[in-house]
Amino acid sequence: MKIAGLQKTTLLDFPGRVACTVFLSGCNFRCPYCQNSEILDGTAENYSSDEIFSFLKKRRGVLDGVCVSGGEPLIHADIADFLREIKRLGYAVKLDTNGAFPQRLKELYASKLIDFVAMDIKSSPQFYEFAAGVPVDTDSIRESAAFLMECGLPYEFRTTVVKQLHREEDFENIGQWLRGAERYFLQTFRDSDAVPFQGLTACSDEEMQRFKKILQKYIPNALIRGE
């Protein structure tokens, strides 16, 4: 387990919780718009597990949740052990995932090691690999999404919207695919020097509103993050 970063406090990332966010190193996707590209190859390690657990022990009573993000947390074979220790310290756990590892997601749920899941939806299934940057087993993505919609665990789906990668047709297809989802957030792309592919741009407010209205035909609780 390589831990690349720690955001010590967040009031936004874990609904209803005062939380911190732990960023795990490594990812199986190479999204051209990634905000955390410096940790994708799995070599980044800025914190030890002992340092994280020491921090969490000191913050009991101040924080009540831990967001585990990445990269992609579920690429780690020892993720269950890591989450189990966080739970032992009394924290609720939010998992950020790209949905590529449905069996591991189900195992964490069965072991009661996760309390909330945020799953990235990169694009419509037909164009998934363009947004993910690699060939993708979309059957696994579909399996993870279906599981979250059926298992009763609080969850959200979310898409970072990039002008060069997303069209109205994509959100029509996503809406039909995820019809009736609990909640869905559109997120505006933010460019930075860390983004792997330069030249990408955000959609206009008008375009984001159009995409939201398309989704709301199928997912009434579809929103733009921060709106």
pLDDT higher than threshold 90 for residue 121: yes
Tell me the pLDDT tens digit for each residue of 21-46: 999 999 999 999 999 889 999 888 89
Q: Could you identify the residue written with the tokens 């047709």?
A: 169
Rounded Cα–Cα distance for residues 102 and 98 (Å): 10
Output the CA torsion 53→55→23→199 (10° steps). -170
Q: How confident is the model at residue 144 (pLDDT cuts 50, 70, 90)?
A: very high
* pLDDT at residue 142 in the model: 98
CATH of 3-224, picked from 3.20.20.70, 3.40.50.1970, 3.80.10.10, 1.10.1040.10, is 3.20.20.70
Query: Minimal CA–CA distance to 92: which of 17, 7, 12?
Result: 17
CA atoms within 13 A on the CB side of 4: 20
The mean per-residue pLDDT over the stretch 129-143 comes to 97
Asked if residues 108 and 86 have their Cβ atoms less than 8 Å apart, the reply is no
Q: Quick check: pTM over 0.85?
A: yes
The mean per-residue pLDDT over the stretch 74-89 comes to 97
Q: Where are the domains of the chain?
A: 3-224
Displacement of CA 150 from its chain's centroid (Å):
18
Query: Minimal CA–CA distance to 70: which of 12, 137, 138, 120?
Result: 120
